[in-house]
């Protein structure tokens, strides 16, 4: 359990290693690789996907309690103000949710990727904006640092990331979204520095972030093989956070433009090596999109829960509307959507933690979960009738928040391209 889960009724626990390993069974075993625990362990091959280990279950409950107690009261005001409450951000650090997979030696929680997905799902049930802040910090930036950064970079950045430093992942540009490797930000070598010039768009967490994992091309003649990943501190001369977007959904999550005007970044801040950025970008996003699936799963589950609760209470024609088969069928279809999303998301996350191929499954998970979120939120509004359409109830916000799932970390079309490539190979 989370050693830092203060203020949510579950204080004093210490995170146990290998949270994702269910109890061992003597026969029929498969190898599972836990990022934090080192050597592979034997776990039952037939463990049901949705059956969490005791530790995972405790973790889920504590995040749920935190979300309901601390996040829920602030959601509406944050959505209306399009601003994430700084005191809540502080709490996310205090309870360890901004450092789920950072090893304990750097001050983090030493959890698994699966834990991060559960956290994102649980937060999204209450506020998808809070979920995406945690998502970017854990499943993109620290995840990439753990895999690709030098020991010096880990020592410099992981401890502050575990306590107070918010991070952002800056790949997209005005002219390169789906076609991410067409990015035009350049990095020119200058002694022991690189000079970065260009513009980034749509960068989540940018308003709050102190650290930007940013992609620029150090050798455009080489095409995507010139793309390089840099760690850029917010205070770096020549770096500026620009305009903040006014959005349909996840309004409390900041999305900003970045301007790089002769921004001087030390060579020591190149992640991996020069020219490796395209691999870092794609491989990190392949993992990150599982957690976006988790975010959308949370949205879908919340929509279903609100609809079920309302269907029990609301009476028309002398009975609860849940007694009408027309409403029951809506709820049943929503439940199937949610269950399918959960199976896809958990399977992809478990495969990733097991060190097994997961890219196609991750694309399927994100593709389906984002569709399920949209469908369930839409249906929930209808089950609630007129009040569902108002800001009195949370379902209209879930509907707005669901839409982003089909856009960021690869649009639905991009997920389908990945899935089709696995079916057909490269045809042209
Ligand atoms: C709220 C928000 C937060 C974001 N956060 C971040 C962030 O933190 N970091 C970051 O780097 N980026 C971020 N993004 C950017 C996001 O990843 C891109 O918006 C997304 O990848 C799509 O790129 P695009 O907007 O340029 O759309 P385009 O790539 O222009 O796509 C437009 C349409 O064309 C379709 N299309 C494009 N290419 C093909 C193809 N080959 N085949 C079929 N259809 C295609 C797409 O599916 C889409 O429907 C964020 C975006 C938003 C809206």
Counting ligand 1 atoms within 8 A of each CB, the residue from 209, 408, 420 with the most, and so the one to mutate, is: 408
Nearest to 358, CA basis, from 372, 344, 370: 344
Domain locations in the chain as residue ranges:
29-163, 167-275, 279-424
Instruction: Indicate the pairing of strand 319-320 with strand 315-316.
Output: antiparallel
CA of 90 to the centre of ligand 1 (A): 30
Q: Quick one: pLDDT at residue 427?
A: 79
Q: Which of 56, 121, 287, 409 is catalytic?
A: 409
Coil, helix or strand for 260?
strand
Low-confidence ranges of the chain (pLDDT < 70): 1-46
CA of 131 to the centre of ligand 1 (A): 19
Q: How far are the Cα atoms of 31, 77, 278, 353, 362 from residue 419, in angstroms, in the given order?
A: 25, 39, 20, 20, 9
CA of 58 to the centre of ligand 1 (A): 36
415, 367 contact by CB (below 8 A) = yes
Residue 179 CA, closest ligand 1 atom number: 29
Tell me the pLDDT tens digit for each residue of 42-83: 555 567 898 999 999 999 999 999 999 999 999 999 999 999
Token readout for 39 is: 């050597």
CA of 370 to the centre of ligand 1 (A): 14
Fold for 279-424, please state it.
Butyryl-CoA Dehydrogenase, subunit A; domain 3 (1.20.140)
Instruction: Indicate the pairing of strand 29-32 with strand 227-233.
Output: unpaired
Residue 178 CA, closest ligand 1 atom number: 29
Counting ligand 1 atoms within 8 A of each CB, the residue from 135, 202, 249, 420 with the most, and so the one to mutate, is: 202
Q: How far are the Cα atoms of 79, 109, 186, 293 from residue 373, in angstroms, in the given order?
A: 19, 29, 37, 9
Distance CA 315, CA 381 (A): 16
Tell me the pLDDT tens digit for each residue of 161-202: 999 999 999 999 999 999 999 999 999 999 999 999 999 999
Residue 7 CA, chain-centre distance (Å), reads 24
Q: Quick one: pLDDT at residue 426?
A: 80
Domain 29-163 class?
mainly alpha
Q: Quick one: pLDDT at residue 53?
A: 94
> What DSSP element (H or E) covers 194?
strand 193-204
Report the nearest-CA residue for atom 27 of ligand 1. 177
φ, ψ of residue 374 to 5 degrees: the values are -65, -45
pTM, two decimal places: 0.91
Q: Quick one: pLDDT at residue 18?
A: 36
Q: Quick one: pLDDT at residue 7?
A: 37
Counting ligand 1 atoms within 8 A of each CB, the residue from 172, 286, 427 with the most, and so the one to mutate, is: 172
**Sign of the C-alpha dihedral computed for residues 14, 20, 23 and 29 taken in this order:** negative
Verify whether residue 409 is a known catalytic residue.
yes
Distance CA 138, CA 35 (A): 14
Pocket lining for ligand 1, CB < 6 angstroms: 136, 168-172, 177-178, 202-204, 247, 255, 404, 407-409, 411, 413-414
CA of 26 to the centre of ligand 1 (A): 47
Residue 410 CA, closest ligand 1 atom number: 21
Report the nearest-CA residue for atom 31 of ligand 1. 178
Distance CA 299, CA 297 (A): 5
Domain 167-275 class?
mainly beta
Q: Quick one: pLDDT at residue 43?
A: 53
> What DSSP element (H or E) covers 277?
helix 277-313
CA of 139 to the centre of ligand 1 (A): 19
Residue 411 CA, closest ligand 1 atom number: 47
Report the nearest-CA residue for atom 2 of ligand 1. 202
């Amino acid at each position: 359990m989370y050693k830092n889960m203060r203020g949510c009724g579950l204080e004093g626990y210490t995170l146990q290693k290998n949270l994702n390993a269910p109890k061992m069974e003597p026969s029929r075993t498969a190898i599972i690789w836990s990022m934090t625990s080192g050597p592979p362990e034997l776990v039952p091959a037939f463990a049901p996907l949705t059956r969490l280990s005791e530790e995972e279950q405790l973790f889920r409950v504590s995040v749920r309690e935190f979300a309901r107690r601390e996040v829920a009261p602030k959601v509406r005001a944050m959505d209306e103000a399009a601003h994430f409450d700084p005191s809540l951000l502080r709490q996310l650090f205090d309870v360890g949710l901004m450092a789920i997979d950072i090893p304990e030696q750097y001050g983090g929680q030493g959890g698994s990727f699966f834990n991060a997905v559960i956290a994102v799902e649980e937060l999204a049930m209450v506020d998808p904006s809070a979920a995406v802040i945690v998502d970017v910090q854990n499943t993109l930036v620290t995840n990439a640092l753990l895999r690709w950064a030098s020991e010096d970079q880990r020592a410099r950045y992981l401890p502050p990331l575990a306590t107070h430093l918010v991070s952002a992942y800056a790949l997209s540009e005005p002219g390169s979204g789906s076609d991410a490797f067409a990015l035009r930000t350049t990095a020119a070598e200058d002694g022991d520095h690189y000079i970065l010039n260009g513009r980034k768009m749509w960068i989540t967490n940018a308003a709050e972030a102190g650290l930007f994992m940013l992609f620029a091309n150090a050798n455009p003649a080489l095409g995507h093989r010139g793309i390089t990943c840099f760690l850029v501190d917010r205070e770096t001369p020549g770096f500026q956070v620009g305009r903040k977007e006014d959005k349909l959904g996840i309004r409390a999550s900041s999305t900003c433009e970045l301007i790089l005007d002769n921004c001087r970044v030390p060579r020591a801040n190149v992640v991996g090596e020069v020219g490796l950025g395209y691999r870092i970008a794609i491989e990190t996003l392949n993992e990150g999109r599982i957690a976006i699936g988790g975010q959308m799963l949370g949205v879908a589950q919340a929509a279903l829960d609100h609809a079920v609760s309302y269907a029990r209470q609301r009476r028309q024609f002398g009975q609860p509307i849940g007694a009408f088969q027309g409403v029951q069928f809506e709820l049943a279809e929503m439940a199937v959507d949610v269950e399918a999303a959960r199976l896809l998301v958990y399977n992809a996350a478990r495969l990733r933690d097991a060190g097994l191929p997961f890219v196609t499954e991750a694309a399927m998970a994100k593709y389906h979960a984002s569709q399920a979120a949209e469908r369930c939120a839409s249906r929930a509004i209808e089950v609630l009738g007129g009040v569902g359409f108002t800001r009195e109830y949370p379902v209209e916000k879930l509907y707005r928040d669901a839409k982003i799932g089909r856009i960021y970390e690869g649009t639905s079309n991009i997920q389908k391209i990945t899935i089709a490539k696995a079916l057909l190979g490269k045809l042209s």
